[in-house]
Each structure stands twice: as C-alpha cells, then as structure tokens.
C-alpha cells in the first residue's frame, strides 16, 4: 500500500520548488530590468511577459495539483518530484532564451523551449497517474495535443529560419506571441474539464 509522506515533509518538497521558482523570477527581473522599465526592446518585453504568464500560471496550477496529489513515499513519487523540479529548470531556459531575441533577429531558442516544457508536463502527469492509480489524475491526452501544436509551431519556425532567415525575421512577432497563447488555451481547456467533472 502506498503511504503518503508526512504533511511537513511534503510541504518542504513543495517549498523547495517554490524557492527555485522565486529565485528564477527574481533573477530574470534583474536581468531584464532595462527592457521592463525602459521599454528598450518591445519584442523582448512581449516575449518576457509571455514566459512570465506561462511560469506564474504553472506555479498556480502546481499548487492546485499538489493539494489533490501530494508526493508519496515511493520511487514514483520521488521521480515525479524530480520531473517537476526539472520543469522549473526548463522555465529558466525559456526566460534566458529571451536574451537571444535581443542579440539576434530570431526566436529559435524561445519557440523550441515550449514543447520541452509540455514533454515534462506529460512525464509528470503519467507519473501522477501511476502514483495514484487514477487515470483522471492527469489529462495526458490534452497535454499531448498541445505538445504537438507547440512542436509544430517550433518546427515551422525552424523551417522558415533555416531556409529563408530574412522571411523568418518577418514572422518573429507571430512566433513570439503564439506559444504563450497556446499555453493559455491549454490552461483554459484543462480548467473547464475539471469544472465539468465537479458539476
């Protein structure tokens, strides 16, 4: 039988992720202070705001998930914690990929980060299902759908940039805005699903 971790230990694991989240956001605010305050680069600012929306919304839904499905004292629980911590590392990658937009006229690293975030979501969701033996513990199908959409978005930009860099530059605004919008659409779809299940 699976035993839940003591509440205080489970809370400490969550607090560790909280600390990493907070440090990441604080460091990025310091790194991009000129763009935020001086509006020196509109594209960089919009990309940064998009990543912040994704990161903060993830933080919020992580709390919601942890209330229902805290880490358990099993190998699967430990693996899920490791995947969730790695997801925060991917947010670090996203935040610092924004710097590429400043130094060059492409968003290759930026658009490439989003599919990997969703791969991490899928891994965490599958582990949560196994951990609690409940298929409804994660909407893996929905995650996979949006992972494919974000992967297609990144692939389209890679194709444009590798073939005709000058044309890819003209599409930068679209590919800066589209990934965060897809993530928001995922959050809305996921929330509606759980609201319908509770009615």
Candidate from 11-15, 86-90, 192-196 with smallest mean pLDDT? 192-196
**How many whole angstroms separate alpha carbon 13 and alpha carbon 58?**
16
Mean pLDDT of 36-53: 78
Mean pLDDT of 25-51: 74
DSSP 29-91: HHHTHHHHHH---HHHHHHHHHHHHHHHHHHHHHHHHHHHS--BSSHHHHHHHHHHHHHHHHH
**How many whole angstroms separate alpha carbon 189 and alpha carbon 195?**
10
pLDDT of residue 167: 65
Parse the chain into domains and list their residue ranges: 7-198
> Radius of gyration (Cα) for the chain, nearest Å?
18
- More confident: 148 or 189: 148
Cα angle for residues 111, 127, 50 (degrees, 5° grid): 25
If DSSP codes are grouped into helix, strand and coil, which group holds residue 3?
A: coil
């Amino acid at each position: 039988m699976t035993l839940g971790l003591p509440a205080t230990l489970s809370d400490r694991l969550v607090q560790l992720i909280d600390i990493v989240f907070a440090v990441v956001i604080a460091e990025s605010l310091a790194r991009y202070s000129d763009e935020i305050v001086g509006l020196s680069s509109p594209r960089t600012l919009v990309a940064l705001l998009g990543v912040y929306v994704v990161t903060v919304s993830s933080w919020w839904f992580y709390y919601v998930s942890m209330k229902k499905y805290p880490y358990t004292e099993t190998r699967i629980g430990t693996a899920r914690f490791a995947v969730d911590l790695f997801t925060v590392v991917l947010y670090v990658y996203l935040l610092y990929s924004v710097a590429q937009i400043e130094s060059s006229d492409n968003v290759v690293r930026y658009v490439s980060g989003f599919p990997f975030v969703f791969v991490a979501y899928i891994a965490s969701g599958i582990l949560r299902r196994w951990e609690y033996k409940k298929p409804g513990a994660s909407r893996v199908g929905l995650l996979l759908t949006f992972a494919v959409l974000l992967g297609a978005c990144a692939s389209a930009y890679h194709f444009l940039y590798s073939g005709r860099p000058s044309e890819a530059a003209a599409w930068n605004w679209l590919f800066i805005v589209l990934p965060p919008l897809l993530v928001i659409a995922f959050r809305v779809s996921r929330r509606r699903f759980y609201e319908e299940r509770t009615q």
